Amino acid sequence: MTRPPASPLCAFDIRPDGRSEVVDLTAEALPDLAEGYRWFHFDLNHSETESWLKTHLPPLVVEALTQAETRPRCMQMEGGLFLTLRGVNLNPGANSDDMVSVRLWATETQIISARVRKIWAVDAIRQEMEAGAAPVSVTMFLADLCQGLTKRIEKVSLELVEHTDELEENTLTASPSAATSLATLRQSVIKLRRFVRPQNEAMADLAAGDLWPLDETSANFLRETSNRTTRIVEELDATSDRLQALQDHADMLHATTLGRNSYVLSVVAAIFLPLGFLTGLFGINVGGMPGVEAAYGFWIVTISSAVLGIVLFLVFRFLKWL
């Protein structure tokens, strides 16, 4: 095998006992491994990555690894296992719900992985390998990766649950900031659910052992990870239902407030309607108007209007319209 592009993110040879060695990328050709497995991790933004993949991997695998848009899935492909997973975006300045993908093609002796943006769960495995404590097999590598991705998704999911608890309290106390927070939180939950649900299915397929042979330790790890992912999906579903209930409650409060205000305006208009008619009648400026020559005519009309308004107000209160 010729050497990979000049700047891979990382390249390791892992022995069966878990010892890892950094691959010498300066060599023109890389020796085949007698035992253990080799891991290459690529950045798809690198200009030479795709050309190297096309040289050393089947076309269908290259196409799957370099797709612009991916969704979590697990399937057998070209004599190996193809796996696409998603992790929360923990990069500085990014939104955690903007999930980023990692694509892998694994055989019994090698793992080829690729990403567009940094995946912290993958970086954690890299750090373990640099410390000399690597997953002892390809299957354990997959189990560690699934567990790392799930652990970080679970943390973000719990934060969303806590924010929902706070939002429920603010909504029930009619906090002005609740409406804005509700829209933002619902968007975050929708983004997570979009990828976590198919990722749960992909992990369940992998944990079943039908697509890839599993040893007992790896199988237990993957089953537990799949179970945790299922709980995350259930929590996101419950959070989504709670947020929908909060949205319905907020809409009801808004409609009630609007209806109450409209009702009060209607009653006020009803009180002033006869007063407006009276003042309009006395403002037509034609002959024969009563009280035109009276010295207290203005005050008589004003006091009469006030008395009429008070009487109408009392009548509406008596009828329980106010």
User: What sign does the dihedral 130-136-139-143 (CA atoms) show?
Assistant: negative
CATH of the domain at 162: 3.30.460.20
Residue 128 lies in a domain: yes
pLDDT given for residue 247 in this prediction:
84
Same domain, 158 and 110: yes
| pLDDT value for 155 | 93
Please check whether residues 187 and 231 belong to one and the same domain.
yes
Which tens digits make up the pLDDT trace of 5-61?
Answer: 546 788 999 998 888 988 877 666 677 777 899 999 999 988 888 888 888 899 999
If we measure between CA atoms, which residue out of 101, 111, 35, 30 comes closest to residue 67?
Answer: 101
136 and 71 inside one domain: yes
Residue 39: strand, helix, or coil: strand
Do residues 205 and 97 share a domain? yes
- Same-domain status, 228 and 153: yes
Domain boundary among the residues 228, 252, 276 is at: 252
All residues at 6 or more sequence positions from 82 whose CB lies less than 8 Å from its CB, including other chains: 61, 64, 73, 74, 75, 76, 103, 104, 105
Q: What is the pLDDT of residue 46?
A: 86
Q: Is 247 found in the same domain as 270?
A: no
Q: How far is CA 245 from CA 160, 233, 240, 242, in A?
A: 16, 18, 9, 5
Query: Residue 259 domain-assigned?
Result: no
Burial of 71 (0-12, 13-18, 19+ CB in 10 A): middle
What CATH number corresponds to the domain at position 272? 1.20.58
| Blockwise average pLDDT, block size 10, the chain, 322 residues | 64 90 74 85 89 89 92 92 94 89 93 93 93 90 95 93 84 63 87 92 91 89 92 93 86 82 80 77 67 71 81 78 68
Match 């947020």 to its residue by tokens. 243
Radius of gyration, CA atoms only, the chain: 35
Residues 133 and 207 in one domain: yes
Residues 214 and 75 occupy one common structural domain: yes
Residue 177 is predicted with a pLDDT of 61
Residues 271 and 218 in one domain: no
Q: 271 and 246, same structural domain?
A: no
**Per-residue pLDDT at 96:** 87
